[in-house]
Amino acid sequence: MEGGALALPHFRSRVGIGSPILLSADPGAARRSSGASGRSRVSRVNPGAYPRSAGRGRTWKRDSPEAPPRRSGITRVPNRSPEMPTERAGRTKVSNVNLEVSHHRAVAAVRLLRIEKGKAFVDLLNEKGNSSGENEMSYVERTLGFSIRCLDNRDIRLVTVIVAGTVRWKRYLDYLIMSLCSEEKVFREMEPLLLQILRIGFFEILKLNVPAYAAVDENVRLAKVALRPGAGNLVNAILRKLLLLKEANSLPLPKIEGDDRAQARALSIIYSHPVWMVRRWIRFLGKEEALKLMKWNNSDPHFSIRVNTANGYTRADLIDRLESLQVHYEKSTMDEFVRIQEGMQTVLQAGLLKEGMCAVQDESAGLVVSVVDPQPGETIIDCCAAPGGKTLFMAARLSGQGKIWALDINKGRLRILMEAAKLHNLDAMISDIHADLRLYAKETTATFDKVLLDAPCSGLGVLSKRADLRWNRQFEDLEELMCLQDELLDSASMLVKPGGILVYSTCSIDPEENEHRIAAFVQRHPDFVLQSVHGYVPAEFVTDEGFYSSSPTKHSIDGAFAARLVRSVL
């Protein structure tokens, strides 16, 4: 489940912190092991690295987002000019910084390329004191053939906004780009780098309201320098055509008509979501709520910060620091949390996470811990613990009395969890277990007062924070995940003492991953009885069946689910 608290080591591994731009040379490796749940990824993305010469003349066919109406426009991608030097074409590594291009757009284009191949994160956040941007700069230089200067905070913010927004709106942008080409083949065979530059230009014009001259001129220049003059001419022609259509309020969009499937296809383009998600949400939520959810997913994400009481800090201390940093905040209904929409970069650079004052954790995850209700002196096992946010929060609530076992199949992420525990002064209360829960439950004789299974899931409740996740999920993934969730629930139940508590949670809003899994579990295990979460979380989060459920559109936090089950004493 996504949404666990992230102290600095966790936050680094999740969003790519470590240099002014990127922590590791291959952050995709961590992501592929984490997935939406932070633990198990079911993805159809090809993890292979894109060619070093990606975007330079290769034929790269892609699926059509939807067949748009035929419109007059560009019929081919211009060939490289024979007079163009190879250095300008981006084939030779150049040591000097190129001052002709917009550097934040250059980084955004390369990052979009890497995201599409599963090798990068969307986020560009950095921590004060890390002065080297060599990783990201080397990716840019290898891909484009020239160097750029290190990005300042404003540049990093721009890259993050452009990349996240372009990824969210990819289906919508691609439909429009293809609509402005007279032949679908032009779009399908467009060079990857050229497509990313066009996506950036379209996003800036349509969603960021960047001045037309800047969006056109800067992206044209980037295409000319990184590719060739002809590519710049193509970008110029398509962007200027887009501007004319925008001014005339005549952008080509599909009509919402026909049967349910046809309407879902149209909505999937307009709101840039996979068709299967749109159809599923309309089925379970109704059309009005489905549209609200898609709008939420396309908005800039909100973040919550949890103060680390184990280190002696209070929320008042955290608020004082935020005010001194001029970071706008809102108090949460949960005593340990505050909300911020902008200023995460400032929080990171000020070292608040590094010094163990706080962790990044959504309130939805904090409410799951409230469902567990850790009490001093209890023994608790977190069965899929990494990245460890809930583990740390539960340990903090034990007030120095009791024990938490953090179990996870990923040894590297467990190591990061324990580093965070030490940072939060909780390492004496947490022990790690590197194991597959299904095997561990069969081999151990240990039982616990409380067992938390924060299960691997689709992550459909956190799509506003995970801009790329919607494109990395397939309908078929749900069936695989549900089978895994059932297996893990059966195993976790073996670890509960008679009279003990089992809590099952996800960061999904899909009933088949949530309520349906609990109903099936209770049928298989009559010795477990559902206990209402009423009294553990505010009433607005309690469903009629007694489950905890948070909704992005209703509560303005991540979507999450939790069920509390009691094992009979007999």
The full DSSP string for 249-298 is T--------SSHHHHHHHHHHHTT--HHHHHHHHHHH-HHHHHHHHHHHT
Residue 120 has pLDDT above 80, yes or no: no
Positions marked active-site: 507
61 is in an annotated binding site: no
Q: Which of 38-47, 192-201, 276-285 has the lowest mean pLDDT?
A: 38-47
388 is in an annotated binding site: yes
What mean pLDDT comes out for the span 305-333? 95
118 is in an annotated binding site: no
What pLDDT is attached to residue 475?
94
Residue 440 has pLDDT above 80, yes or no: yes
Confirm whether pTM is higher than 0.95. Answer: no
Residue 91 has pLDDT above 90, yes or no: no
Confidence of residue 59 (pLDDT cuts 50, 70, 90): very low
264 is in an annotated binding site: no
What pLDDT is attached to residue 37?
39
Identify which of 552, 472, 470 has the alpha carbon closest to the alpha carbon of residue 301. 552
- Is there a contact between 457 and 37 (Cβ–Cβ < 8 Å)? yes
- Is there a contact between 87 and 128 (Cβ–Cβ < 8 Å)? no
Tell how far CA 525 is from the center of its chain: 34
69 is in an annotated binding site: no
> What one-character DSSP code corresponds to residue 6?
B
> What one-character DSSP code corresponds to residue 540?
G
Residue 49 has pLDDT above 50, yes or no: no
Number of residues written out for the chain? 570
Instruction: Decide which of 128 and 298 is more confident.
Output: 298
Average pLDDT of the chain to the nearest whole number: 84
Q: Which of 112-126, 168-182, 244-258 has the lowest mean pLDDT?
A: 112-126
- Is there a contact between 366 and 305 (Cβ–Cβ < 8 Å)? no
What mean pLDDT comes out for the span 219-237? 95
Residue 132's Cβ-side half-sphere holds a number of Cα atoms within 13 Å equal to 7
Q: How far is CA 154 from CA 161, 182, 538, in A?
A: 11, 38, 39
Q: Do the strands 528-531 and 560-567 form a parallel or antiparallel pair, or are they unpaired?
A: antiparallel
What pLDDT is attached to residue 62?
53
What pLDDT is attached to residue 125?
55
> What one-character DSSP code corresponds to residue 147?
B
What pLDDT is attached to residue 65?
54
What pLDDT is attached to residue 93?
44
What pLDDT is attached to residue 524?
97
Give residue-wise pLDDT tens across range 452-476. 999 999 999 999 999 999 999 999 9
CA dihedral for 11, 460, 462, 334, sign (positive or negative): negative
Give residue-wise pLDDT tens across range 171-222. 999 999 999 986 888 899 999 999 999 999 999 999 998 999 999 999 999 9
Q: What percent of the chain has pLDDT over 90?
A: 71
